[in-house]
């Protein structure tokens, strides 16, 4: 009976049954001989039937023979009617006739007859018939190219729908069809009792697949029919690289997404990253940005259809990310018109899925271990020896008294060194930072109403004590779907709390002298005199850290996104969306009166409290009409999209001064506001409007045309040029759909696209175009009253920056998807730039914004992935991937107008110049011929080829370029069943670096900074005696070393980006028992290795950190 029951359980049980059967049969065979004889002798059966059902025949056999039959009812479904005419036949004879041509066979066990499927007879084939049907989408439009296969029959031929969505396939009634199409959810159709022809409606996939381009505008395109260059990554893919934030992960997976390393800020969690996609599109200049402006080279971030801030993206919970799409070229970004020239990063969060209530819980843990290997500082005895050689203890005056004083000082220091004092200051402000992120998410609902509620809280502690960033978010996502209407509403609340380390700049600790004993009590380590007789006070970096203080910020934002889709007809769809955001942030900074900042300040002004608050209100709305039509081989899509947005900011700040000693910083205890201070306040309103038309035509899915035109209006433009048009035009060719390639079985997909377009950059102050007056402050009245004067002379003719980009791309997938990749090339020219030009002061204006010059980037990027093992059936893959990016930039059209900017760069001792024909990343310095062995002085090369000891700024030339010849990531990954492993390394080849450590800590050590600790090379590698061949100038020279090519070094580096080991348990029985659906563990390590051909200090004000992290995700 047990056996019967098992069979009844259906399909899955069949396999199980088969194994059981084999066991039983063995037993049966052993006993059959005896049983058979007895059976044969007793039963005499007579039956005469025509086309009777098998079941009725079996009933008769049972009655006449007394044998029992064991079978399941379903087994009789496909049996044929039986015609039989026997008299007094044995059971065996009757059974033989009855089961001839039946899909079943039998065994006789004592008086039991067990029926089973006759596998050798292939009964299914006998039952096959032709199934015809049509595959359509939710709007009942035909889906051409969808594939239909029979479930459980991997070898069977696959049917593909034709242009009208029709297909034909053979299958039995018993079987199930699987219908798949990119961008749509896979559907299974049980054929039993289905009327033919079938109409199969596919649902569009909510979560993104890699083959769909999400532009963030509501216009989602099949990658196959799009001419733009984009790259899409799933949230899981990114999380496998880094569980910190999306930005960290994107830099590893996408070659064109560059994170500019911030050597000053290191791994400070509160410093926003600097990002470039395909280079810069403007001159970085703070003067044209107002308080609320963005980095003018930063790409636009779009979260769930609305532009958002970098900060929101940095704090975004990675567990909520469904996909990230990087739009790089004109065709893909033109829909964003004036905001698009730096590229667009589109992030979609996970949408609720219908189904039972489903919880997902994720826990991330990250350890940040400060990396001190880059610091190459002297120990106590080395330092003292360096000081001696550098002349710290040799008085410059001829008088004996100062010399005696200095010698006493030397002996004091020497005594300390001999005593064994060798303080290592670097470790004091550091800790092993960590962050934990808990994220929980619940979703469910039926087809008409789905919901998703999620929240996360992240605690982050940085590698410097006291620095940290905590962030949190909560969201409620509701979707209502009925007939032609689909409404989605998401409400977010999110925020962060940050704090800066009370230890201040890490540089103070790196520079602290090792022969002093660490102390917390005194603001100075030593008060003495330098060799030139000046007073020399050596600050104690630990002292300030111990005083009460804080530097915190709080940020909170509430946001609501409403999105409505209405299908007007099969061809038209209307989409409207509205986002409203309200946010506020506050910064509070307190320094207690005991801190060394206030040493020379009167008592009532010691201590300082700074409070800045910003309120923000923003709305963005858009309305889009979509038209879609397919006629035979012609497929046409068009969109008309209009947007409106307004952003209001209000900032208010005050400063209070004077606190009682020991005060912990409540402003209640401040004596007064800052001397002659006034509250600072500013407000800004920024508005923009746009209307865009985009059209796409594809013929036979072979030839593709894309066109976008957008007109943009904003308050940022010159008042004479409020509106500005942008456009793009693209062509594509799906070679894999051509007959001559279709036959090449090794080519799966091959597409060539190219496009050209013009986009803009809006990250400028919104008032550059309008003249602004200020109330005179100091002498602000006379007998006639008050007066105003010009604060800023606007340029009403200022045109927005425009970037013309030409791109070409080749995408391929070869050898059954074993070798996939793309090669992109681009030429990106921003013309005109907006540059703040200094005019002669007689014009009365400074930093007047001008349209002048151009900046061109030419580059290529590629990503190639090869799978040595690609066995999807066994779920076993191994891939090796390479990304590479290379570009060059060039300024043009400046003439001599930017001489003033260049002069400023020279005065500020920076390496940047704006000169025609040169790269934006060029390093400018005087050519150095090295150190003269005779004198220890630096020899410069003048422009006319002469050698000179004299430094002259006129000899500054282009001495290098920070852009590497090629940069990218090599990675490999293995996935076997639930196990996955991946590792990635970033390589940079051939970029130049201005080595700041050499410039500041080996040379340029003044009488004052001699008291600070320095790089070891200052002692070992500087010129000491005539004849020394040295890289660095004479050790006793305290004079200023100018910027020269001697400090420009070519760097090749290899750094570990990511290492990841994980295991995913999915639908294992033990999981079920625990009530879990899936469980995933992941361990990650980032930045654990950095190899470089040059030695330079990394992390000046904040050290870099290596990170190790763990993730756990469970859904139930």
DSSP state of 152: T
Q: How far is the CB of 785 from another protein (least distance, A)?
A: 6
Q: How far is the CB of 709 from another protein (least distance, A)?
A: 15
Q: How far is the CB of 894 from another protein (least distance, A)?
A: 14
Q: How far is the CB of 312 from another protein (least distance, A)?
A: 24
* CA–CA gap between residue 952 and residue 943 (Å, rounded): 10
Per-position DSSP letters for 763-779, written without gaps between them: -S-TTTTS-EEEE-STT
Q: Which of 66, 679 has the CB closer to another protein?
A: 679
* CA–CA gap between residue 439 and residue 1114 (Å, rounded): 11
Element (H, E) at 1112: strand 1105-1115
CB-based contact 460:270 (threshold 8 Å): no
DSSP state of 281: S
Extract the runs of DSSP E, i.e. beta strands, from 664-793: 672-673, 680-699, 703-714, 723-734, 747-761, 772-775, 781-782, 785-786, 788-792
Q: How far is the CB of 914 from another protein (least distance, A)?
A: 14
Burial of 691 (0-12, 13-18, 19+ CB in 10 A): middle
Q: How far is the CB of 285 from another protein (least distance, A)?
A: 17
Q: How far is the CB of 814 from another protein (least distance, A)?
A: 47
Q: Which of 646, 700 has the CB closer to another protein?
A: 646
Cα–Cα–Cα angle for 67, 69, 75, rounded to 5 degrees? 160
* CA–CA gap between residue 808 and residue 806 (Å, rounded): 7
Strands 854-871 and 819-830: antiparallel
Q: Which of 783, 908 has the CB closer to another protein?
A: 783
Q: How far is the CB of 772 from another protein (least distance, A)?
A: 5
Q: How far is the CB of 311 from another protein (least distance, A)?
A: 23
Q: Which of 677, 844 has the CB closer to another protein?
A: 844
* CA–CA gap between residue 756 and residue 821 (Å, rounded): 22
Q: Which of 130, 779 has the CB closer to another protein?
A: 779
Query: CB-side exposure of 1071: number of CA atoms within 13 Å?
Result: 13
Q: Which of 719, 827 has the CB closer to another protein?
A: 719
Q: Which of 848, 940 has the CB closer to another protein?
A: 848
Element (H, E) at 449: strand 449-461
Cβ density class 633-644: b for 16+ within 10 Å, e for less: eebbbbbebebb
* CA–CA gap between residue 303 and residue 324 (Å, rounded): 9
In this structure, the number of other CB atoms found within 10 A of the CB of residue 205 comes to 16
Element (H, E) at 907: helix 899-907
Q: Which of 485, 772 has the CB closer to another protein?
A: 772
Q: Which of 723, 733 has the CB closer to another protein?
A: 723
**Binding residues for another protein (CB under 8 A):** 642, 644, 681-689, 691, 713-715, 719, 722-723, 766-767, 770-776, 778-791, 793-795, 838-845, 848, 899-900, 903
Q: How far is the CB of 618 from another protein (least distance, A)?
A: 14
Q: Which of 650, 748 has the CB closer to another protein?
A: 650
* CA–CA gap between residue 982 and residue 253 (Å, rounded): 12
* CA–CA gap between residue 913 and residue 994 (Å, rounded): 15
Q: How far is the CB of 769 from another protein (least distance, A)?
A: 11
Q: How far is the CB of 719 from another protein (least distance, A)?
A: 8
Per-position DSSP letters for 573-627, written without gaps between them: EEEEEEEEEEEEEEEEEEE-TTSGGGTTS-GGG-SEEEEEEEEEEEEEEEEEEEE
Query: CB-side exposure of 727: number of CA atoms within 13 Å?
Result: 5
Q: Which of 666, 843 has the CB closer to another protein?
A: 843
Question: Strand, coil or helix: what is 516?
Answer: coil
Q: How far is the CB of 846 from another protein (least distance, A)?
A: 8
Per-position DSSP letters for 12-34, written without gaps between them: HHHHHHHHHHHHHHHHHHHHHHH
Strand partners, 105: 116
Question: Strand, coil or helix: what is 872?
Answer: coil
Q: How far is the CB of 577 from another protein (least distance, A)?
A: 17
CA nearest neighbour of 333 among 357, 308, 301: 301
CB-based contact 208:348 (threshold 8 Å): yes
Q: Which of 567, 738 has the CB closer to another protein?
A: 567
In sequence order, which ranges of 526-594 are alpha helices (DSSP H)? 541-545
Q: How far is the CB of 567 from another protein (least distance, A)?
A: 16
Phi, then psi, of 865 in degrees rounded to 5: -130, 130
Q: Which of 446, 797 has the CB closer to another protein?
A: 797
Instruction: Supply 368's token pair.
Output: 């940040």
CA nearest neighbour of 798 among 769, 758, 771: 769
Q: What angle, 0 to 180 degrees and rounded to 10, lies between the N-to-C axes of helices 400-418 and 380-390?
A: 160
Q: Which of 274, 711 has the CB closer to another protein?
A: 711
Element (H, E) at 824: strand 819-830
Q: How far is the CB of 713 from another protein (least distance, A)?
A: 5
CA 834 from chain centre, in angstroms, equals 29
Q: Which of 420, 785 has the CB closer to another protein?
A: 785
Q: How far is the CB of 336 from another protein (least distance, A)?
A: 18
Q: How far is the CB of 1011 from another protein (least distance, A)?
A: 29
CA distances from 176 to 115, 153, 188, 313, 600 (A): 24, 10, 6, 44, 86
Q: Which of 416, 792 has the CB closer to another protein?
A: 792
Q: Which of 739, 786 has the CB closer to another protein?
A: 786
Identify how many contiguous H helices and E strands the chain contains and give both numbers. 18, 58
Q: Which of 217, 766 has the CB closer to another protein?
A: 766
Question: Strand, coil or helix: what is 280?
Answer: coil
């Amino acid at each position: 009976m047990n056996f019967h029951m098992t069979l009844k359980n259906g399909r899955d049980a069949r396999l199980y049954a088969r194994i059981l059967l084999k066991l039983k049969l063995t037993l049966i065979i052993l006993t059959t001989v005896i049983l058979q004889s007895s059976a044969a002798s007793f039963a005499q059966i007579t039956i005469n039937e025509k086309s009777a059902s098998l079941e009725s025949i079996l009933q008769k056999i049972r009655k006449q023979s007394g044998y029992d039959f064991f079978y399941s009812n379903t087994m009789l479904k496909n049996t044929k009617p039986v015609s039989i005419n026997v008299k007094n036949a044995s059971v065996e004879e009757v059974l033989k006739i009855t089961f001839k041509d039946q899909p079943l066979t039998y065994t006789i066990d004592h008086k039991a007859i067990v029926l089973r499927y006759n596998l050798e007879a292939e009964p299914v084939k006998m039952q096959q018939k032709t199934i015809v049907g049509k595959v359509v989408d939710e709007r009942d439009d035909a889906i051409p190219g969808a594939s239909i296969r029979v479930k459980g029959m991997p070898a069977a031929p696959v049917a593909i729908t034709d242009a009208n969505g029709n297909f034909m396939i053979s299958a039995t009634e018993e079987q199930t069809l699987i219908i798949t199409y990119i961008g749509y959810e896979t559907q299974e159709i049980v054929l039993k009792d289905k009327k033919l022809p079938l109409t199969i409606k596919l649902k569009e996939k909510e979560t993104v697949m890699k083959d769909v381009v999400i532009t963030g505008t509501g216009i989602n395109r099949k990658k196959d029919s799009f001419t733009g260059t984009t790259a899409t990554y799933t949230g899981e893919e990114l999380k496998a690289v880094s569980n910190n934030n999306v930005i960290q992960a994107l830099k590893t997976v996408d070659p064109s997404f560059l994170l500019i390393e911030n050597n000053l800020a290191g791994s400070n969690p509160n410093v926003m990253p600097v990002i470039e996609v395909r280079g810069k599109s403007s001159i970085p200049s703070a003067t044209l940005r107002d308080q609320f402006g963005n980095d003018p080279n930063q790409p636009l971030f779009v979260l769930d259809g609305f532009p958002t801030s970098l900060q929101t993206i940095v704090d975004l919970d990675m567990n909520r990310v469904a996909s990230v799409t990087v739009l790089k070229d004109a065709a893909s970004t033109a829909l964003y018109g004036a905001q698009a020239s730096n590229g667009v990063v589109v992030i979609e969060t996970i949408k609720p899925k219908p189904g039972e209530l489903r919880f997902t819980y994720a826990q991330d843990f990250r350890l940040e271990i400060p990396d001190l290997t880059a610091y190459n500082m002297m120990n106590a005895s080395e330092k003292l020896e360096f000081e001696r050689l550098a002349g710290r203890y040799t008085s410059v005056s001829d008088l004996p008294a100062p010399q005696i004083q200095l010698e006493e000082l030397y002996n004091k220091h020497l005594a300390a060194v001999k005593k064994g004092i060798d303080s290592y200051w670097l470790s004091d402000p550091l800790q092993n930072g960590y962050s934990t992120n808990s994220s929980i998410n619940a979703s469910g609902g039926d087809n008409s109403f789905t919901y998703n509620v999620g929240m996360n809280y992240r605690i982050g502690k940085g590698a410097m004590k006291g620095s940290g960033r905590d962030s949190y978010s909560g969201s409620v996502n509701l979707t209502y779907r009925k007939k032609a209407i689909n409404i989605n509403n998401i409400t977010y609340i999110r925020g962060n709390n940050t704090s800066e380390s009370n230890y201040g700049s890490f540089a103070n600790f790196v520079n602290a002298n090792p022969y002093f004993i660490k102390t917390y009590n005194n603001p100075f380590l030593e008060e003495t005199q330098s060799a030139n007789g000046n007073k020399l006070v050596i600050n104690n970096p630990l002292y300030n850290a111990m005083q009460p203080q804080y530097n915190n910020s709080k940020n909170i934002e509430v946001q609501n996104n409403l999105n409505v889709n209405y299908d007007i007809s099969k061809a038209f769809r209307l989409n409207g969306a509205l986002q409203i955001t309200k946010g506020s942030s506050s910064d509070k900074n307190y320094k207690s009166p005991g801190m060394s900042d206030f040493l020379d300040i009167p008592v009532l002004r010691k201590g300082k409290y700074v409070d800045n608050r910003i309120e923000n209100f923003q709305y963005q709305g858009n309305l889009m009409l979509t038209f879609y039509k397919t006629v035979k081989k012609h497929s046409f899509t068009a969109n008309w999209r209009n947007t409106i947005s307004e952003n209001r900011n209000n900032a208010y700040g005050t400063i209070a001064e004077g606190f009682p000693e020991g005060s912990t910083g409540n402003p209640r205890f401040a004596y007064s506001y800052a001397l002659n201070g006034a509250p600072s306040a500013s407000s800004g309103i920024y508005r923009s409007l746009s209307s865009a038309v985009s059209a796409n035509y594809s013929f036979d899915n072979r030839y593709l045309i894309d066109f976008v035109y957008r007109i943009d209006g904003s308050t940022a433009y010159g008042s004479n040029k409020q509106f500005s048009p942008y456009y793009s035009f693209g062509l594509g060719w799906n070679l894999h759909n051509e007959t001559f390639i279709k036959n090449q079985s090794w080519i799966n997909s091959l597409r060539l696209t190219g496009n050209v377009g013009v986009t803009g950059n809006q990250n400028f102050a919104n008032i550059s175009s309008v003249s602004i007056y200020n109330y005179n402050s100091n002498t602000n009245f006379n007998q006639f009253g008050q007066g105003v004067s010009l604060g800023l002379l606007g340029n009403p003719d200022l045109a927005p920056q425009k970037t013309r980009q030409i791109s070409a791309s080749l995408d391929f997938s070869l050898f059954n998807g074993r070798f996939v990749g793309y090669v992109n090339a681009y030429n990106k020219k921003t013309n005109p730039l907006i540059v703040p030009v200094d005019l002669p002061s007689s014009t009365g204006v400074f930093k007047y914004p001008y349209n002048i010059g151009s900046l061109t980037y030419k580059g290529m990027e590629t990503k190639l992935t090869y799978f040595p093992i690609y066995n999807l059936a066994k779920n076993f893959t191994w891939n090796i991937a390479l990304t590479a990016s290379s570009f060059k930039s060039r300024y043009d059209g400046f003439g001599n107008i930017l001489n003033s900017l260049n002069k400023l760069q020279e005065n500020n001792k920076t390496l940047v110049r704006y000169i025609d024909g040169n790269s934006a990343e060029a390093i400018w310095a005087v050519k150095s011929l090295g150190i003269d062995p005779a004198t220890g002085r630096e020899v410069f090369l003048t422009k006319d080829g002469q050698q000179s000891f004299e430094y002259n700024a006129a000899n500054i030339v282009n001495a290098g370029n920070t852009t590497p010849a090629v940069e990218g990531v090599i990675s490999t990954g293995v996935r076997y069943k639930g196990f996955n492993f991946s590792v990635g390394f970033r390589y940079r080849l051939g970029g130049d670096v201005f080595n700041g450590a050499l410039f500041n800590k080996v040379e340029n050590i003044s009488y004052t900074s001699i008291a600070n600790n320095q790089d070891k090379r200052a002692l070992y590698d500087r010129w000491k005696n005539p004849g020394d061949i040295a890289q660095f100038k004479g050790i006793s020279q305290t004079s200023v070393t100018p910027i020269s090519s001697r400090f420009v070094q070519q760097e090749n580096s290899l750094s570990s980006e990511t290492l990841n080991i994980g295991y995913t348990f999915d639908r294992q029985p033990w999981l079920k028992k625990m009530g879990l659906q899936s469980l995933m563990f992941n361990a990650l390590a980032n930045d654990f290795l950095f190899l470089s051909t040059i030695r330079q200090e990394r992390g000046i004000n904040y050290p870099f950190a290596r990170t190790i992290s763990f993730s756990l995700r469970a859904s139930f």
